[in-house]
Amino acid sequence: MRATMYLLGLTALLFTPGLFADESATKPTRFFEQRIYITHPGKLDALHQRFRDHTNRLFQKHGMELIAYWTPVEGEDASNTLIYVLAYPDRESRDKSWKAFLDDPEWKKAYEESHKAGPIVMKVESKFLTPTDYSPIK
């Protein structure tokens, strides 16, 4: 089933399947992580490029499920903010995936290369989330 997602004030960068309860009712509940990256001025495009060219593939390689990516449409943070959500089977899987990702030589190289013109990310906020019993996404 194909769904269109409308979010006030955000531009969706990745189609999010499974948003309807009839599709997710039989799925096991996952452990979610919302991450917000605030970039240095003028560095949002470099962050998008790093995610597009390296980060997303490496997330998947290490067992992270890509749920969605957004940028604010308006306001002060529209030019420097990336918001995204990842899913894992549980907290232990999350921790194991991140350790493997951060230790991956390919990630280390991509990170180093992306910093040749200076640091990209100024601040990272992370929140762990569990869906409510009435959430259409589990």
Give phi and psi for 62, each to the nearest 5. Answer: -100, 20
Is it the case that residue 15 has pLDDT exceeding 50? Answer: no
Whether the predicted pLDDT of 7 surpasses 70: no
DSSP H helices, the chain, are: 21-24, 44-50, 56-61, 91-103, 105-114
Residue 61 is encoded by which pair of tokens? 């390689």
Question: What domains can you pick out in the chain, each with its CATH number?
Answer: 28-129 (3.30.70.100)
pLDDT tens-digit map of 57-116:
999 999 999 999 999 999 999 999 999 999 999 999 999 999 999 999 999 999 999 999
Is residue 24 scored above 60 in pLDDT?
no
Mean predicted lDDT score pLDDT of the chain? 86
The answer, yes or no, to whether residue 3 has pLDDT greater than 90, is: no
pLDDT of residue 80: 97
- Angstrom distance (rounded) from CA 95 to CA 101: 10
pLDDT of residue 28: 73
